[in-house]
Amino acid sequence: MLGIDKKDRNLLVVVAVLALAAPFILNPFPAGSELAQFNAGYPDLMQRFVIFGIFAIGFNILFGLTGYLSFGHAAFLGVGSYSAVWMFKLLSMNVLPAIILSVIVAGLFSLLIGFVSLRRSGIYFSILTLAFAQMSFNLAYSVLTPITNGETGLQLTLNDPRVLGSSATADGSIPVTNLFGLEMRSTYEMEVGAWLFQFNAGYYLCAFIMLAAFYLAMRIFRSPFGMMLRAIKTNQTRLNYTGLNSRPYTLAAFVISGMYAGLAGGLMASMDPLAGAERMQWTASGEVVLMTILGGAGTMLGPVLGAGFIKYFENIFSKINDSVLHGWFAFLPDGMENALVTIVHPFVGKGWHLTLGLLFMAVVIFLPGGLIEGGQRIAKMFKKKKGSSSDDDSEHSPKQAPHVAE
């Protein structure tokens, strides 16, 4: 079924269940309890999980498979956002045309940048993509202000000449984004005992698209095309002497990952119709690199995991302030409590980036395969303890797994 083998199908099912049940899974603590601040099951954050998941899945198709490290992918995300907002301004508040346009525009833009950048490899490629992205960012801030609205960012106004739809609603406010009438912001709330679960239309749209994107990436990984991309990463010389032209393969991978980024940008704008240049800055490109590596570059699940991990902790860590810390360590004697709070303080709250940086370094140094590799190692340890036959557990890593000719 679906043209994938059993292992992949199971993985897809797991991801689907996780994505669809996220409002439950991410809200394990009763509303109003002290731990409720660690709940992540609210629409805004859940949307970010899956949108950045899409972004990272796409980035992984380029970096994970071909090894070309792009430092400019945020540019495609930004372009996608701008296109979507313009679609809302000019055509309709329906998200479908906006998303389609953002994918197309990002695809064309990445075709252009990829065509030039892929003439070089290694660090030169990284610098070229970085240069293009910074250029787009600077232009969006300056000359392109009529299109991007500069520093303020592109927003909807009451005077937008929307062809299909009205400029303003009956009560004089800006219309909201919808999918054929289903408003993206509409949320169904369900109370079960002390728990409150939120089911948001926008989140589910993003989640379904993420699942489709994940499935598509899976097909690419298992296809001859994906195999060629991995071959490029390993040995381009041999590839050329085997009669294959590496340039169109890398360009195709670049454009596909650019379109994924555009899709993420389009979705971002669909959830909250505004777009700013800071989405294109190189730190934003760096973020998707972090997500992919942290989760595990070249693995199927890694990037999604990395995206979720970073976005979750970014949100949660920034909420941990000193009073929370005091709460945690309250059982200790006063002196120790204060000392511990002082030690932990720089790493939480506003210090989240410090933790992220350290974590990222640790992953690069000790776990080049990312969280996925960590998980595999732990799984192996358990297997050994149990003493069962240790079949090579490499389910998500295309590097080691022989998927073919079974």
Partner 1 sequence: MDAILLQTLNGLDKGSAYALIALGLTLIFGTLGVVNFAHGALFMIGSFCAVTLSRLLTLSFETVDPTKTDFLGNPAKVKTPYVEAWFGPEAGGTIIDWAVPLAIIFAIPVMIAIGYAMERGLIKHFYKRPHADQILVTFGLAIVLQEVIKYFFGANPIPTPAPEVFKGSFDFGMLIGMDANAVIYPYWRMVYFFFAALIIGGVFAFLQFTTFGMVVRAGMADRETVGLLGINIDRKFTIMFGIAAAVAGLAGVMYTPINSPNYHMGMDFLVLSFVVVVVGGMGSLPGAVLAGFMLGILESFASMNAIKAIIPGIDQIIIYVVAIVILLTRPRGLMGRKGVMED
Partner 2 sequence: MGILEVKGVNKRFGGLQALGDVNLSVQENTVHAIIGPNGAGKSTLLNCLVGKLIPDTGSVMFDGQSVLGRKPHEINQMGISRVFQTPEIFSDLTVMENVLIPCFAKRDGAFRMHAYESVASEKEVIERAEAMLEDVNMLDKRHMHSASMSRGDKRRLEMAMCLVQEPKLLLLDEPTAGMARADTNNTIDLLKEINEKRDITMAIIEHDMHVVFSLAERITVLAQGTPLVEDTPENIKGHPKVQEAYLGQAH
Element (DSSP H or E) covering residue 115: helix 95-117
Which one of 36, 220, 340, 359 is in contact with partner 2 (CB under 8 A)?
Answer: 220
Q: Is 121 in the site for partner 1 (CB under 8 A)?
A: yes
- Contact between 277 and 124 under an 8 Å Cβ cutoff? The reply is no
Candidates 36, 174, 176, 239: give the one binding partner 2 (CB under 8 A). Answer: 239
- The string of DSSP letters for 276-332 reads -GGGGSHHHHHHHHHHHHHH-TTSSSHHHHHHHHHHHHHHHHTT--HHHHHHHGGGS
Token reading at 288: 């998707």
Contacted entry of partner 2, partner 1, none for residue 116, CB cut-off 5 to 8 Å set by kind: partner 1
Number of chain positions touching partner 1 (CB under 8 A): 40
Alpha helices in 118-245 (DSSP H): 122-141, 145-148, 201-222, 224-234, 236-240
The residues near 357 (Cβ < 8 Å, ≥ 6 apart) are none
* Contacted entry of partner 2, partner 1, none for residue 241, CB cut-off 5 to 8 Å set by kind: partner 2
Determine which residue in the list 30, 97, 165, 286 makes contact with partner 1, applying CB under 8 A: 286
What does 340 interact with, of partner 2, partner 1, none (CB < 5 to 8 A by kind)?
Answer: none
Is 305 within 8 Å of 371 (Cβ atoms)?
yes
Q: Which is nearer to partner 2, 5 or 151 (CB)?
A: 5
User: Segment near partner 2 (CB under 8 A), from 21-29, 74-82, 135-143, 394-402?
Assistant: 394-402
Contact 259, 58 (CB under 8 A): yes
- Asked if residue 65 lies in contact with residue 218, where contact means CB atoms within 8 angstroms, the answer is no
Nearer to partner 2, 314 or 393 (CB): 393
The rounded distance, in Å, linking the Cα atoms of 73 and 52 is 12
Show the site string, 250-289: x = touches partner 2 by CB under 8 A, - = not: --x---x---------------------------------
Q: Which does 52 bind (CB under 5 to 8 A by kind): partner 1, partner 2, none?
A: none
Residue partners of 340: CB distance under 8 A and separation at least 6: 325, 329, 332
Query: What mask, x for binding partner 1 by CB under 8 A, covers residues 365 to 394?
Result: x--x--------------------------
Tell me the number of residues near partner 2 by CB under 8 A. 37
What ranges in 182-245 are assigned the alpha helix state H?
201-222, 224-234, 236-240
Strand partners, 19: none
Give the nearest distance from C-beta 343 to partner 1 in angstroms. Answer: 13
Least Cβ distance, residue 247 to partner 2 (angstroms): 8
Residues in contact with partner 2 by CB under 8 A are 3-5, 219-220, 222-228, 230-231, 233-235, 237-245, 248-249, 252, 256, 399-400, 402-406
Residues in contact with partner 1 by CB under 8 A are 67, 69, 116, 119-124, 126-128, 130-132, 134-135, 138-139, 141-144, 282-283, 286, 289, 293, 346, 351, 353-354, 356-358, 360-361, 364-365, 368
